[in-house]
Homo-oligomer: A and B are copies of this chain.
Amino acid sequence: MERAHTVQLENLRSKVVDMGTFARKALGIVLQALVEKRMDLFEEVFEIEKSINQWHKQLDEEAVEYLAANGPVARDLRAVVSLVKINTDLERMGDQCVNVAYIGRDALRLNLDLNIPAIRTMFSIVQEMVEKSLESFVKRDSQIAQKVLLMDDEVDDLKKKVQNDMISEMKKNPDLVERNLSLILIARNIERFGDHATNISEDVIYTEAGQDVRHGGFI
């Protein structure tokens, strides 16, 4: 019985990782779509997000079944509660990718160029954040999770920089309004994608260390 219980939990955990891998993939594709100006890739992001949404529902359901069947306590219970929350964060990462894809698709129709270095840098940091947050989850490693929390500050600073630069440009050249607004909104969505990686890392720290670091309680 004990063993079946453990296998079931590991099974749930590995589904979380699969879902995270897809969220990471969606982020990569949306960046590629922006850089290569490819409508077909934006459409692919919408498809991936639909799958993520289905898994989100299914995983929630399986977590509830696990709780009902096993009535776990202590660390296993914390692990399942965290898993339900991480599931929500991954689903919202999908939402952020879709938001960026909508903005990108509209911009592409207007023939706007959104491929700027600061946005590419933001994507690349946030990609590392989601990879590290998933790694910390797989390895149950709070140290790796802590690193994600630091990277989040970097992304916040970049978002502010993009915003300020875009505003200055728009004021000088009103023809840039749609393009620069698109870039501001994309920067904000990418930053929020990063926030979800941060949430996942905080949940890992909570599960593994039993410490609640959310809302500035720890670092």
**A: which residues have CB within 8 A of B?**
50, 53-54, 56-57, 60-61, 63-64, 67-68, 71, 73-74, 77-78, 81, 84-85, 88, 167, 170-172, 174-175, 177-178, 181, 184-185, 188, 212, 214-215, 217
Chain B residues within an 8 Å CB radius of A84: 81, 84-85
Chain B residues within an 8 Å CB radius of A175: 171
Q: A56 contacts B181, CB within 8 Å?
A: no
Number of copies: 2
Q: How far is the CA of A149 from the CA of B218 in the complex (A)?
A: 37
Q: Is the interface of A mostly helix, strand, loop or mixed?
A: helix
Chain B residues within an 8 Å CB radius of A85: 84, 88
| 20 residue pairs from A and B, CB less than 8 Å apart | A57-B212, A57-B214, A60-B81, A63-B81, A64-B78, A64-B81, A67-B77, A68-B73, A68-B77, A71-B71, A81-B84, A84-B84, A84-B85, A85-B88, A167-B178, A170-B177, A171-B175, A171-B177, A177-B177, A181-B181
Q: How far is the CA of A95 from the CA of B27 in the complex (A)?
A: 24
Chain B residues within an 8 Å CB radius of A170: 170, 174, 177
CB A146 to nearest CB in B, in angstroms, measures 18
